Chains A and B, each alone.
Chain A
């Protein structure tokens, strides 16, 4: 592409097929305790 650069991101549609295992960290167990941010949670599904 000449005009647009795209960052590598997780395929959300694909994650609908193989996601939802629930092994990832609960967001409030990290540092916030007063907000809900899930974007910084790492996926722990080894089969994704």
Chain B
């Protein structure tokens, strides 16, 4: 399977199963398209010479084009077959190793963002803070179930985790006290709304958390539309100085300014550029809102053309910034073509319900943070382990090949079939697909790869 598209002056051909990326001239782009349609080479050659007569395309040029294409085919980089499908069935036999936990240390929040998928952190009204003992047991559960995996990830999430900062701090201290003996390397991340960020938090997070995710939606009016406190006051003026201080003190360690865009700010690149140019942040993320279609902020199908246009604006502007020596990063464009995921990861995806789970404040286990509160999706708890093994097995097999909507999608090995929670919320089935999310995802991948093409061109010009 191949996918072809033209963007920002680049003709790009993606080969799905080899994950190869080719940048072509116009004639070879057309030749590949015609070959993909099953046309014979004589007819293709005639068509090319006719179409590109004005460019002086000769028989020798046509021969060169076919030579290039044949070399790629011989090298297994073009028109490759799916040789991985059987690997998907191996997944049901994979171990039950757990390597990452999302700890919902606080089922409560000091903001009241109306678009929050966690119902303002309450997760269907189950409020509460995680105790140190529960958190400690969660870390022990992770170690006990992690097999030979060395790198273990723990995200402090909520609600707002800093509402329960003391427990976060104690849990990290506990993890550090056991990791050498257990031969593990804990990687902590913190996702925060910024309200409780202070010097103490900054010092702790910059020492202990290898990544922090800082929630800000961009421009003041955009941020304050949803990100309000319980009295309805916007949070921008309180959180932006905290975030700026936080990032400045981070000394180059990883962070993301993480925003959400909705139907009300489909011009979201203005929010990204506001965070970059006006506020001085350079590591940025902006996610489409996950919301019930009936909510006013939910993205609509009519929003998509503008959303796609915005992604193109962002990609082109990032190339400009890179050329000017002032690059920014955007989470969804940080595609790693050479050192990225292996085929197993590309098939199996995020690992929710198997190697990744969410732990509630009271110690219940769910496949991920987005399933918390849905009793049908409770896997077990951190004391008894996974007791709903049928559910775990269902998630184990929930991979890209289990989603038949993905059969003919060129992007399936970039998303692994997408987010199970989004699929469930959109279709009622974790094996479904959230089609609007897919369309947005495909656009982002096209843009991300176009940036790579531009980088290759910049590099070759520099050489």
Q: Which residues of A contact B (CB under 8 A)?
A: 1-13, 15-16, 18-20, 22-45, 48
Contacts and interface: CB of A to CB of B under 8 A. Distances in A.
B56 interface: no
A38 to B, nearest CB: 5
Interface stretch (B18-26, B272-280, B308-316): B18-26
B448 A39 contact: yes
B201 interface: no
Given A7-B456, A28-B369, A43 B415 contact: no
Interface footprint category on B: 35 or more
Contacts of B150: 23
A39 B291 CA distance: 24
> Of residues A18, A34, A38, A39, which shows the largest number of chain B Cβ atoms within 10 Å of its Cβ?
A39
A22 B21 contact: no
B107 interface: no
Given A4-B23, A12-B18, A35 B97 contact: no
5 contacts: A12-B413, A25-B187, A31-B211, A39-B335, A42-B339
A41 B340 contact: yes
Interface in B301-346: 331-332, 334-346
Nearest to A11: B18
A23 B345 CA distance: 10
Nearest to B287: A34
B318 to A, nearest CB: 14
B120 interface: no
Contacts of B351: 26
B76 A13 contact: yes
Given A37-B441, A38-B416, A6 B350 contact: no
Contact of A26 (B71, B157, B288, B356): B356
B22 A7 contact: yes
A28 B350 contact: yes
Contacts of A29: 100, 102, 153, 155, 187, 189, 211, 356
Contact of A28 (B149, B151, B356): B356
Contacts of A2: 64, 68
Contact of B68 (A3, A12, A18, A19): A3
A28 B342 contact: no
A8 B20 CA distance: 8
Contacts of A33: 157, 191, 213, 287, 369-370
Given A23-B149, A26-B355, A29-B153, A34 B117 contact: yes
Interface string B92-118: 000001011010000000000000010
B338 A38 contact: no
B352 A3 contact: no
